[in-house]
Amino acid sequence: MPPRPALGRRFAVTALVIGLLAALTNGAWAGSRQARPPHGPAPVTRVPSAAGTATPLTGYAIQSSAKVSDSAASVSSPGYPAQGWYPAAPRSTVLAALLADGVYADPFFSTNQQKIPKADFEVPWWYRSDFTVQDTTRRTFLDFGGVISAADVYVNGHQVAAAKDVTGAYTHHELDVTSLVTTGTNTVAFRIQPDDPAKDLTMGWIDWLQPPPDRNMGIVRDVLVRRGGPVALRDTHVLTKLAVPSLASADLTVKTEARNDTAAPVTAEITGTLGATRFTRQVPLAAHETKTVTFSPADTPGLRLTAPKVWWPAGMGGQPLYDLGLTASVAGTPSDTAHDSFGIRDVQAPLNADGARQYRINGRKLLIKGGGWSPDEFLRWDGRYAEDRLKYAVDLGLNTIRLEGHLEPDEFFGLADRYGILTLPGWECCDKWEGNVNGSDEPGDPWTDADYPVAKASMAAEAARLRDHPSVISFLIGSDFAPDAKTEKTYLDALKAADWPVPVVSAASAKSSPRLGSSGMKMTGPYDWVPPGYWYARREGGATGFNSETSAGPSIPTLDTLRRMLTPAELDTLWKDPAAKQYHRSPSPVFGTLKIYDAALTGRYGAPASLADYVRKAQLAQYENVRAQFEAYERNATDASKPSTGVIHWMLNSGWTSLHWQLTDRYLDQGGAYFGAKKANEPLHIQYGYDDRSVAVVNNRHETATGLTARATLFNPDGTQKYDRTVTDLTVSGDGAHGTALTLPSSVRGLSSAYLLRLVLTDAAGTEVSRNVYWLSTRPDTLDWSGTTWYYTPTTSYADLQGLSSMAQVPVSATAATRSSDGTSTTTVTLRTTGSGKTPALLTDVHLVDARGKPVLPVRWSDNEVSLWPGESVTLTATCRTADLRGSAPGVRVSGWNTPERTVPAS
């Protein structure tokens, strides 16, 4: 973001990046208050003796240091009676553990989180775990990261590391504890220090949600117990060089560090397998020597691949992965192993003639279409929940996820590799990470000499972790600000040493750093409500260049979700009082209310008459706005001058129950924002241009589309047709190209102030391949560009869409049936208008529900929120996990803008 007032867009508080814990309910943590009595020691982790094993600790017992009077040596010794301590998962913040143990009520409901005392987390907390080994002839190491914010580390009563050395959420540590480990039970203990993102290189929650009271202190990545022989293998990775544009061959270079952990010289035999290729080398190592061992096509011909299996983003091709295995042996005995999974692809991201960053994957340009990612507020990691959200991203037609800090665990990037979702990880704004450059505008202390080694270690650890994931296409070393020269050098030196293979970007905003130069990105907002036509303006946040984070702000969830997150009194305030502080919006004073959003909703659609009416209008407004955002960037992607090259909707999801910045809510329910994005990003798409009244066809497929027919029809809200035009034999090139089919006239006789536009695209066989319905006004929204701030552009007069409220009620019948196989259930739904008049059914929503009428989530629809004219029908499919039906036959709940709600069986 450009400079802005203090406490503006991002409100520094706290954060971090991964975690585990708690049970899921419909894909989200239940958070119900079911207190369990604290108990003693955590489960004992059994560590095998085999060389090359890396065993994660299975959990901890945790307790506040304020309640522990015993010495560190006592706490960290086997047999210590941890009575009254709380159980914690292998990856857990303090608060995540206490929530799982039922200490506090659901923090996602109402203002429950405010009742959690912050003072409890302003002192260190102990994490204690036991593990057993049977063979002490092996070497033993503690391998870990994800400590927030710092920790003193003890093993069997002895301190093995101090907090000044184990600090920073992203730093990686390996401690040789061989001399301390004994046969039988061993104990490791961490004394975790409180976190302050303004002072520590950890994570801050910015202004996404109300920050957790513990500020995410804890251990949120696995602590591994590694066993090995005299020689260890570390830092194993594969460099790939793909022939572009032919894709006919690829050169692979395998690198690993061989480390002699003994005081005597040894010769290690390093053996590798990669597909059908096997290779080996004898590596002599002096006492305590480390060597980089490299295998390349020059010495290992099998590493030059012909016709390689190339990795592509979703929608552009497949996602094949390769696996590398290495073994180090000494005197014929295995000493250590290493494994690596990687993909072969080429990423380039030069600046175009207009200075915008243009990504190319395997030689082909692509428009980056993505969403901002939020982890769970308490950093609880659940692989299934993450996978569900990434599947949603694919369903939405997105190709990218941006992670501003909060860099998720390895499993996340493995899922992104599998589903073809590109990722843009990077550091965050508004706390210590940008403390040297954000001046007084944002929180974050300036760096001291002690911070640079932590920053370098953090960058090195993340580079080593992410570099072989084909889904990772850049690292952003700045967010709102680019780093200064010393900080930039710190990052770049670490990236170079790690063989970082893809572009490094100086910032997510339009900033430059001394060596990297211009970011090629913009962060011009908006972050609060603007009208749909805003996105077509070739200025500020409009569809030119690469906008790294932007949306029209508030995203009111469905009524089902609202009732799960707010009290009846809070629901009443939500629709009646625009000036009210909304705890579930943001801690930022800029985004604390819904005043701007509610004024637009009333100005365009009329004042809400009830909570249900407010939510109904919100879904209509969010559908049209999100659709317009993506459509504008899609249409302008192939412009000759100032093309759009990327857009990240801020955000894809929320880490808690939220009223803003989300395409899907905490419980994975879907409303207008979701289906507006899905419509805009369909592979072959017909759309309307708010700026020039054009009707364009965008082809996101690789192949050229021919023989297309486009039809545009205008209707008054009562269904009276006022204009109709068909254009045949259209041809549109692929890879994001668009063609203009026609331009609507500037005025049409008899058109009401609010009217409907129906666009239909059919292929050469006459099959409908895209349908898009707009609600428009003869009175445009008027923007006050001179009043633009960093977060929005004011609207001085609104489009008049209030005539939509006069639309007659149109009943829609539904028939549905469900089939289940291999754990997946597919419900087929046929909708048909049954009224006798001319009025269409606008934005008809279908929800799959269980026997209690509650939404079945997650669910993926072929289409939804559809508009039907008299006599029309459409067949939709919904796919869910059979287990999420909870043993009952589902139902289908149908409702819409002017369609009465009804539920029919779908057995």
Q: pLDDT (tens digit, 9 = 90+) per residue, 431-471?
A: 999 999 987 778 899 999 999 999 999 999 999 999 999 99
The reported pLDDT for the residue numbered 3 is: 38
Mind listing the pLDDT tens digit for each residue in 568-609? Answer: 999 999 999 999 999 999 999 999 999 999 999 999 999 999
How far does CA 412 lie from the centroid of its chain?
9
The reported pLDDT for the residue numbered 38 is: 52
Q: Is 90 exceeded by the pLDDT of residue 51?
A: yes
Percent of the chain residues topping a pLDDT of 70: 95
Q: How far is residue 361's CA from residue 420's CA, in Å, rounded to a whole number? A: 12
Q: Is 50 exceeded by the pLDDT of residue 85?
A: yes
Mind listing the pLDDT tens digit for each residue in 717-735? Answer: 999 999 999 999 999 999 9
CB 212 within 8 A of CB 377: yes
Q: Is 80 exceeded by the pLDDT of residue 2?
A: no
The reported pLDDT for the residue numbered 41 is: 62
pTM for the predicted model, two decimal places: 0.94
CB 695 within 8 A of CB 147: no
How far does CA 466 lie from the centroid of its chain?
16
CB 188 within 8 A of CB 155: yes
CB 684 within 8 A of CB 576: no
Q: What is the mean pLDDT of the chain?
A: 94
| Burial environment of residue 11 by CB neighbours within 10 A (0 to 12, 13 to 18, 19 or more) | buried
CB 552 within 8 A of CB 525: no
Looking at residue 150, the DSSP 8-state letter turns out to be B
Report the alpha-carbon angle 163-164-168, nearest 5: 80
The reported pLDDT for the residue numbered 545 is: 98
**Identity (one letter) of the amino acid at 422?**
L
How far does CA 428 lie from the centroid of its chain?
14
Beta pairing partners, 231: 260
Mind listing the pLDDT tens digit for each residue in 598-647? Answer: 999 999 999 999 999 999 999 999 999 999 999 999 999 999 999 999 99
Q: Is 80 exceeded by the pLDDT of residue 190?
A: yes
| Burial environment of residue 766 by CB neighbours within 10 A (0 to 12, 13 to 18, 19 or more) | exposed
> What SS3 class is residue 536?
helix
* Structure tokens, 113: 């989180």
User: For the residues 104-114, what does the mean pLDDT come to?
Assistant: 97
CB 882 within 8 A of CB 793: no
* 568-576 vs 611-635: helix crossing angle, rounded to 10: 60
The dihedral through the CA atoms of 795, 799, 800, 803 has a sign that is: negative
How many CB atoms lie under 10 A from the CB of residue 6? 13
With tokens 């979702």, the residue in question is: 421
Which residues have C-beta within 8 Å of that of residue 654, sequence separation ≥ 6? 208, 209, 374, 661, 662, 665, 666
Q: Is 80 exceeded by the pLDDT of residue 42?
A: no
> What SS3 class is residue 829?
strand
Count of alpha carbons within 13 Å of 611, Cβ hemisphere only? Answer: 16
Report the alpha-carbon angle 170-171-173, nearest 5: 135
Q: How far is residue 201's CA from residue 804's CA, in Å, rounded to a whole number? A: 52
pLDDT class of 24 with cuts at 50, 70, 90: very low
Q: Is 90 exceeded by the pLDDT of residue 48?
A: yes
| Burial environment of residue 17 by CB neighbours within 10 A (0 to 12, 13 to 18, 19 or more) | buried
Q: How far is residue 494's CA from residue 500's CA, in Å, rounded to a whole number? A: 9
Cis peptide before 651 (omega within 30 of 0): yes
Residues known to be catalytic: 480, 549
How many CB atoms lie under 10 A from the CB of residue 252? 25
> Phi and psi of 461, rounded to 5°?
-65, -45
Q: Is 70 exceeded by the pLDDT of residue 10?
A: no
The reported pLDDT for the residue numbered 40 is: 55
CB 669 within 8 A of CB 855: yes
> Is beta strand 644-649 parallel, antiparallel or unpaired with respect to 368-372?
parallel
Q: How far is residue 605's CA from residue 855's CA, in Å, rounded to a whole number? A: 27
Q: How far is residue 790's CA from residue 441's CA, in Å, rounded to a whole number? A: 13
* 595-605 vs 611-635: helix crossing angle, rounded to 10: 90
Radius of gyration of the chain (CA): 28
Count of alpha carbons within 13 Å of 162, Cβ hemisphere only? Answer: 1
Q: How far is residue 794's CA from residue 719's CA, in Å, rounded to a whole number? A: 33
Length of the chain: 907
Percent of the chain residues topping a pLDDT of 90: 94
Q: Is 60 exceeded by the pLDDT of residue 61?
A: yes
Q: How far is residue 5's CA from residue 552's CA, in Å, rounded to a whole number? A: 20
Which residues have C-beta within 8 Å of that of residue 578, sequence separation ≥ 6? 593, 594, 595, 597, 598, 599
> Phi and psi of 536, rounded to 5°?
-90, -10
Of 324, 71, 901, 301, whose CA–CA distance to 891 is shortest?
A: 901
> What SS3 class is residue 418?
helix
Q: Is 70 exceeded by the pLDDT of residue 123?
A: yes
The reported pLDDT for the residue numbered 441 is: 76
With tokens 């869910």, the residue in question is: 880
User: For the residues 173-196, what does the mean pLDDT come to?
Assistant: 98
> Is beta strand 721-732 parallel, antiparallel or unpaired with respect to 824-833?
unpaired
With tokens 């050395």, the residue in question is: 165
Q: How far is residue 337's CA from residue 51's CA, in Å, rounded to a whole number? A: 7
- 636-666 burial, b for 16+ CB within 10 Å, e for fewer? bbbeeebbbbbbbbbbbbbbbbbbbbbbbbb
Considering only the C-alpha atoms of the chain, give the largest distance between any 2 of them, rounded to a whole number of Å: 94
Of 418, 257, 411, whose CA–CA distance to 343 is shortest?
A: 418
Cis peptide before 92 (omega within 30 of 0): no
Residue 778 falls in which region: left (phi positive, over 0), alpha (psi -120 to 50) or beta: alpha
Q: Is 50 exceeded by the pLDDT of residue 6?
A: no
CB 430 within 8 A of CB 11: yes
Residue 406 falls in which region: left (phi positive, over 0), alpha (psi -120 to 50) or beta: left
CB 632 within 8 A of CB 536: yes
In DSSP notation, 694-744 reads: EEEEEE-SSSPEEEEEEEEEEE-TTS-EEEEEEEEEEEE-STTEEEEEEE-
Q: Is 80 exceeded by the pLDDT of residue 26?
A: no
Q: Is 90 exceeded by the pLDDT of residue 34?
A: no
Spatial strand order in the sheet of 422-426: 504-505, 475-476, 422-426, 400-404, 368-372, 644-649, 545-550
How far apart, in Å, are the Cα atoms of 109 and each of 14, 248, 404, 826?
20, 55, 26, 32
The reported pLDDT for the residue numbered 809 is: 96
With tokens 């009562």, the residue in question is: 718
CB 289 within 8 A of CB 319: no
Q: How far is residue 484's CA from residue 479's CA, in Å, rounded to a whole number? A: 13
> What SS3 class is residue 809?
coil
* Structure tokens, 769: 């391949």
Which residues have C-beta within 8 Å of that of residue 398, sequence separation ≥ 6? 369, 370, 371, 421, 652, 677, 681
> Is beta strand 899-905 parallel, antiparallel or unpaired with respect to 517-518?
unpaired
